[in-house]
Amino acid sequence: MLLPALSGAFGDDADAIRVGDQRASREAVLSAATALADRIAGSDAVAVWATAGMETVVAVVAGLLAGVPVVPVPPDSGPTERDYVLRDSAASLLLVPATSEGSPRLADVPVPVAAVDLRARSTTSYPEPPPESTALILYTSGTTGAPKGALIPRQAIAADLDALADAWSWTPDDLLVHGLPLFHVHGLVLGVLGALRIGSRLAHTGRPRPDAYATAAGTLYFGVPTVWSRVCADPSAARALSSARLLVSGSAPLPLPVFEQLAELTGQPPVERYGMTETLITVSGRADAERRPGFVGTRLAGVESRLVAEDGTPVAPDGESPGELQIRGPMMFSGYLNRPEANRESFTSDGWFRTGDIATIDADGWHRIIGRASTDMIKSGGYRIGAGEVENALLAHPAVREAAVIGAPHPDLGQQVVAYVVADAATEAQLIDFVAGRISAHKRPRQIHLVEQLPRNAMGKVQKKLLAGG
């Protein structure tokens, strides 16, 4: 069973599931979702307007009960993106909260729209769908073209959540707290389905505000680097998390200064993890092991990983040599929807998934992500420079709050290191000299642009393609 917590095996607190101000028992979620499953059963796919509300939880569970693939749609989608996802996925229906039916964002939707009724009840019993069947169709960010729908099978979700429960000592006794979007792996698969599989209680804060995290009194917290940076900026909120058992960071690299501040304020260093839409989570730190700043941990149960050079030859796991990270494991997606060419390009002939990320792996299996091969591996004057190393050097400066490094075309060097920095009081020359004093001189930025903010997506990842030259 994919969601055993809905079977009644873990008790039924009246507020076992909290989303913002909404409260529900697991039995209420199951009954409302079953009533919705009665409406959508037999559909090829249904889309969900994935707001941070109980309606999203019920709608996703309904699809899982009925064996109907669910397509989460970001509620901030523009009409072009929204309609592309709806048409590409062949969703027959868009499920929305009753309060949003008149939203301008839902005008002229190319499929029928139906409201999720949290008061509906049904006791229909549905057989468990085949483990290889598609549970979710999650659309990638589309940074290199139109978004692609990744087909996530039920067995991949089950394998990943079980491996994370082992790594994080996640049990029914936990109260999971987060405020992440419910249309991504982190917020939806880990943050909702994880609680419903493992049996822990869930408190979704609506938005990931430091004060909301501080008052939730959880034992297990999920956040992205932007969230943890804001928590650290509110020391009283950070100290309130000192009673938590585990703090988890993911979806983007956690800057070293934030790692250190969080450890100092809460009394424990955070656990980092690594994954993609297509692979779910494959590498993570463990609750019962050390937490190394700058590293995303070791392989989860069942996962294999390797590094490959540009010419296809193996890269030694010596902790220093970078290569493209390739992954195999039971939590893999089953392919892109209607994209046979993309499927062929994404997998090697021997079945490894090409992540497109550059990493190092040491002899003990610790993984360090340098960045995307397309944007974070800079080739300058014959050197291979990881953008992440330069970003961490910049972030060590006390005036720097945010930093993003890219490789920009250069007539002599091929590429030059260019940084975009949010800083309180520092000049370009001061920052260049500071970096040159911490890492090799050839890695220093040749140009630094001081900006008010960096472009980020909903998960806090910097959108380097939107930076000049990216």
Q: Tell me, what CATH number does 429's domain have?
A: 3.30.300.30
Rounded-to-integer distance, Cα 346 and Cα 368, Å: 21
Q: Which residue has the higher pLDDT, 412 or 385?
A: 385
| Nearby residues of 392 by Cβ (< 8 Å), 6 or more positions away | 255, 256, 294
Residue 168 lies in a domain: no
Using CA atoms in the order 190, 196, 197, 198, what is the torsion angle rounded to 10 degrees?
Answer: 90
C-alpha distance across the termini of the chain, in Å: 45
Tokens of 208: 């990931």
Q: Are strands 175-178 and 149-153 parallel, antiparallel or unpaired?
A: unpaired
Per the domain annotation, does 221 fall within a domain?
yes
Please state the rounded mean pLDDT for residues 1-28.
91
Q: How many CB atoms within 10 Å of residue 129?
A: 17
**Going by DSSP bridges, is the β-strand pair 323-328/304-308 parallel, antiparallel, or unpaired?**
antiparallel
Domain with 319, as residue range(s), is: 175-330+346-372
- pTM, whole model, 2 decimals? 0.85
Number of domains in the chain: 3
Indicate whether 296 and 261 sit together in one domain.
yes
Residue 339: inside a domain: no
Classified as helix, coil or strand, 392 is helix
Same domain as 310, residue 272: yes
Write out pLDDT tens, residues 315-353: 999 999 999 999 999 999 999 999 999 999 999 999 999
Confidence label for 459 from pLDDT (cuts 50, 70 and 90): low
Residue 169 lies in a domain: no
The pLDDT of residue 125 is above 80: yes
Residues 97 and 180 in one domain: no
Same domain, 383 and 354: no
242 located within any domain: yes
In 77-224, which ranges are E strands?
Answer: 94-97, 113-116, 134-139, 149-153, 175-178, 201-204, 220-223
Tell me the pLDDT tens digit for each residue of 66-92. Answer: 999 999 999 988 888 899 999 999 999
**Contacts for 132-137: CB closer than 8 Å, 24+ residues apart:** 132/334, 133/67, 134/69, 134/334, 135/2, 135/63, 135/64, 135/69, 135/70, 136/60, 136/69, 136/70, 136/71, 136/72, 136/188, 136/189, 137/45, 137/69, 137/70, 137/71, 137/89, 137/337
Q: Are residues 355 and 398 in the same domain?
A: no
CA distance 376 to 23: 43
For residue 246, give the CATH number of its domain: 3.40.50.12780
| Beta partners for residue 323, in sequence order | 359
- Both 366 and 382 in one domain: the answer is no
> Does residue 381 sit in the same domain as residue 442?
yes
Q: How far is CA 245 from CA 173, 175, 287, 350, in A?
A: 11, 10, 9, 40
461, part of any domain: yes
Is the domain of 286 the same as that of 182?
A: yes
Smallest CA-to-CA distance from 70 within 160, 179, 193 is with 193
